[in-house]
């Protein structure tokens, strides 16, 4: 791949998704876009670039963005954020919202749906009364329409179900389709509203939230975009709400709107 084509793809991905792929990552374009070229019978990266420049009449841009963005996810990923949700955030919010009986939760960059489904299972299993009595809305968004299709179907492989999922949840909320795949229950699927959304396009239209999970997303952005997103998150998070970031992410030195939640890594609240 020549430098001109690499720079074009590099800038395209940054402008469309905010993801920064530095010069050392040029090999990713060749490996990740190979399936796209095979699917569409495009002989080379140069030809793919030329077709992208000519327009996206056949969804080539969508396929390219999906191929070049990371969709790593699994149920109850990293563990501790979900323990905090179960033991701290949700019990407190149920008390604080006793009058309005409404809680809104947003999972940004939800990938294949494991994160919002993990939250729904926690609510259904540990807070059955509140889950029934409260109006709890779980919004899950991702830039990739491809992963949202899988998320809405709720179908996962043996590997995906065994990775991070407690057998208790598996037995209660999943059923086998065949020897290699499982499907999560209809009640859990229907509890999540999946929508396509690009963090580059602003957040105001989404409304306000009591809990926001924007985990393992900011690490792919440059500092100006991190600040832009964090500033917007601060505007749509309720005053007593919780923001969950990835373990390698922090607002410190970028946005002063957030503070640690009792010193727990990755959990933040608005600065008074």
| Residue 74 falls inside a structural domain | no
Structural domains counted in the chain = 2
166 plus 38 within the same structural domain: no
Strand order across the 258-261 sheet: 192-196, 135-142, 102-107, 209-214, 237-245, 264-270, 258-261
Per DSSP, the three-state class of 255 is coil
Domain boundary among 68, 94, 121: 68
More confident residue, 3 or 212: 212
Could you tell me which of 149, 159, 134, 216 has the C-alpha nearest to residue 189? 149
Torsion, CA 210, CA 211, CA 217, CA 218, rounded to 10: 60
Q: Which of 20-29, 125-134, 200-209 has the lowest mean pLDDT?
A: 20-29
Could you tell me which of 246, 245, 272 has the C-alpha nearest to residue 259? 272
Token digits of residue 205: 């239209």
Are the C-beta atoms of 225 and 19 separated by less than 8 Å?
A: no
Token digits of residue 151: 């998320």
Are the C-beta atoms of 105 and 137 separated by less than 8 Å?
A: yes
Compute the distance between CA of residue 256 and CA of residue 141 in angstroms, rounded to an integer: 25
Domain boundary among 68, 93, 110: 68
10 plus 111 within the same structural domain: no
Kindly report the CATH number assigned to the domain that includes residue 22.
1.10.155
Residues 19-39 have a mean pLDDT of 86
Compute the distance between CA of residue 140 and CA of residue 194 in angstroms, rounded to an integer: 5
Checking if the pLDDT of 263 tops 80, the result is: no
Q: What pLDDT score does 161 carry?
A: 95
35 plus 150 within the same structural domain: no
49 plus 161 within the same structural domain: no
Kindly report the CATH number assigned to the domain that includes residue 245.
3.40.50.150
- Mean pLDDT across the chain, nearest whole number? 93
pLDDT 10s digits, 98-111 = 999 999 999 999 99
Compute the distance between CA of residue 244 and CA of residue 226 in angstroms, rounded to an integer: 14
Compute the distance between CA of residue 263 and CA of residue 247 in angstroms, rounded to an integer: 13
177 plus 248 within the same structural domain: yes
| Residue 255 falls inside a structural domain | yes
124 plus 178 within the same structural domain: yes
| Residue 149 falls inside a structural domain | yes
Token digits of residue 111: 């990938």
| Strand 155-157 versus strand 258-261 pairing type | unpaired
> Which domain covers residue 133, as residue numbers?
80-270
Enumerate residues 6+ apart whose C-beta is below 8 A from 88.
261, 262
119 plus 193 within the same structural domain: yes
61 plus 96 within the same structural domain: no
Checking if the pLDDT of 143 tops 80, the result is: yes
57 plus 101 within the same structural domain: no
| Residue 75 falls inside a structural domain | no
**E-assigned strands of the chain?**
102-107, 135-142, 155-157, 174-176, 181-184, 192-196, 209-214, 237-245, 258-261, 264-270
CA 16 to chain centre: 16
Residues 230-248 have a mean pLDDT of 96
89 plus 24 within the same structural domain: no
Compute the distance between CA of residue 122 and CA of residue 127 in angstroms, rounded to an integer: 7
| Residue 129 falls inside a structural domain | yes
Q: What pLDDT score does 58 carry?
A: 66
Q: What pLDDT score does 59 carry?
A: 87
Are the C-beta atoms of 112 and 72 separated by less than 8 Å?
A: no
pLDDT 10s digits, 52-90 = 998 765 689 989 988 888 778 899 999 999 999 999 999
151 plus 244 within the same structural domain: yes
34 plus 84 within the same structural domain: no
Token digits of residue 207: 């409304």
Query: What predicted TM-score, i.e. pTM, was given to this entire model?
Result: 0.91
| Residue 156 falls inside a structural domain | yes
| Residue 27 falls inside a structural domain | yes
| Residue 45 falls inside a structural domain | yes
């Amino acid at each position: 791949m020549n430098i001109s084509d690499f720079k074009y793809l590099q800038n395209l991905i940054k402008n469309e998704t905010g993801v920064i792929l530095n010069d050392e990552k040029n090999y990713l374009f060749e490996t990740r876009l190979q399936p796209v070229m095979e699917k569409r019978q495009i002989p080379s990266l140069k030809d793919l670039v030329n077709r992208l420049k000519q327009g996206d009449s056949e969804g080539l841009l969508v396929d390219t963005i999906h191929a070049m963005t990371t969709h790593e996810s699994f149920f109850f990923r990293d563990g501790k954020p979900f323990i905090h949700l179960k033991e701290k955030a949700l019990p407190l919010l149920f008390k604080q919202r006793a009058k309005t009986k409404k809680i809104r939760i947003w999972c940004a960059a939800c990938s294949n749906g494991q994160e919002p489904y993990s939250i729904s299972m926690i609510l259904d299993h540990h807070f059955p009364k509140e889950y029934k009595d409260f109006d709890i809305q779980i919004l899950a968004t991702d830039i990739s329409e491809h992963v949202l299709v899988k998320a809405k179907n709720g179908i996962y492989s043996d590997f995906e179900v065994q990775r991070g999922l407690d057998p208790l949840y598996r037995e209660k909320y999943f059923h086998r389709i065949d020897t290699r795949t499982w499907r999560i229950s209809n009640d859990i699927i229907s509890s999540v509203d999946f929508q396509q959304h690009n963090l580059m396009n602003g957040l105001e239209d989404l409304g306000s939230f009591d809990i926001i999970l924007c985990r393992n997303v900011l690490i792919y952005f440059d500092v100006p975009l991190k600040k832009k997103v964090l500033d917007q998150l601060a505007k749509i998070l309720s005053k007593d709400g919780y923001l969950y970031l990835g373990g390698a992410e922090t607002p410190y030195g970028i946005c002063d709107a957030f503070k640690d939640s009792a010193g727990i890594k990755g959990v933040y609240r608005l600065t008074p």
